[in-house]
Structure 1
Amino acid sequence: MFLRVPGMVGTTMGIAMIITTTLALADVTLPDEVVVENLRIEKSLSGSPGDAAQGRKTFADRSLGNCLACHLNSDLSDELFHGNVGPSLDGVATRWKPEQLRTIVVNAKKVFTERTIMPGFYSLDVGEDVREDLIGKTILTAQQVEDVVAYLNTLE
């Protein structure tokens, strides 16, 4: 039996890609399966460590995290329009452990109460005024959350 995957050369290569993708997805924690204990999410949501360089890009990307809309971050001083609604993230890695940062990024309401305006970036409970294209979806992927957490962990 031959398995044809568009863009794949050879059956073995196609099967290997499918198996690898399936295994990678098996490690991802879905938003409704996230466990918060003592204000911490201990386990990587993606099953992989975060990439701080990618997290920095996500943090600064106005169409993704848009973190600068609310937070000052001296590491990104070359970016325009830092907000002052949320706290400065300078030194955030000295104030919070990675497991706590993960919880804040996933759903800040679990840490700061329902009154925070920070959205849940990996939660389906994102509030009342949700962009239409995000209804029923998360703002960030599991890996993007891990990347942002890895980046925040560099801000000492």
Structure 2
Amino acid sequence: MKLSTTILAATVLAAGSAMAEPVAPGDVQFDEYGAVAESLTGQPGDVENGAVVMKSKSVGNCISCHKVSALDDAPFHGEIGPPLDGVGDRWGEAEIRGIVANAKKTYPGTMMPAYFKVEGFTRPGDAYTGKAPEGPLDPLLTAQQIEDVVAFLVTLKEE
């Protein structure tokens, strides 16, 4: 009995750690409308970190294109993309995750960057050098940062 309990516990722990592995950008499963039902990390997103990612010019930089009233402490909100106030009422978590990961799966002609994509680019550049990058590309945001942004966005409800 003790051995069975130990084996069961080890199996559960192994399954849990396997679920905790982040999904690679090329392995993300989008549905026909661009939604991503499964978490990219198996871990819940951090709402506060999601807000930081969205307003940080060196990370997500979302507010350069979108107005987000909840982030009014950050200057210079953009008007290129739609305002994100109330987005948590308009979209479900899976749809928001898909749009943040790769909005082009939902809106093919969008100017929004694909934040969790590493291949299939037309002309990626190496920062501001004017040269093509060498080696494989990293996604603009990590899987956990995507989950953090999703966690923040689902909190944005109509008032």
TM-score > 0.5 by shorter chain = yes
Please list every run of 5 or more consecutive structure 2 residues that lacks an aligned counterpart in the other structure.
Answer: 1-13, 128-132
Greater Cα shift, 140-149 or 122-131? 122-131
Matches within 5 A, 1:81-100: 81-100=76-95
Distance in 2, Cα, partners of 1:57 & 1:129: 28
Aligned length: 135
In the alignment, which residue of structure 1 is the partner of 2:74?
79
Distance in 1, Cα, partners of 2:141 & 2:18: 17
Please list every run of 5 or more consecutive structure 1 residues that lacks an aligned counterpart in the other structure.
Answer: 1-19
Pick from 32, 35, 56 the counterpart of residue 38 of structure 1. Answer: 32
Q: Determine if contact 2:36/2:94 at 8 Å carries over to the other structure.
A: yes
State the identity %: 40
Matches within 5 A, 1:73-152: 73-113=68-108, 115-125=109-119, 127-132=121-126, 136-152=137-153
Matches within 5 A, 1:7-86: 23=17, 27-39=21-33, 40-86=35-81
Which segments of structure 1 move beyond 3 Å, counting only runs of 4 or more? 23-26, 125-131
In the alignment, residue 118 of structure 1 is paired with which amino acid? M
Deviation, 1:79, is 1.1
Deviation, 1:88, is 0.1
- Give TM-score, length-normalised by structure 1: 0.79
The Cα RMSD (Å) is 2.2
Q: Determine if contact 1:119/1:126 at 8 Å carries over to the other structure.
A: no
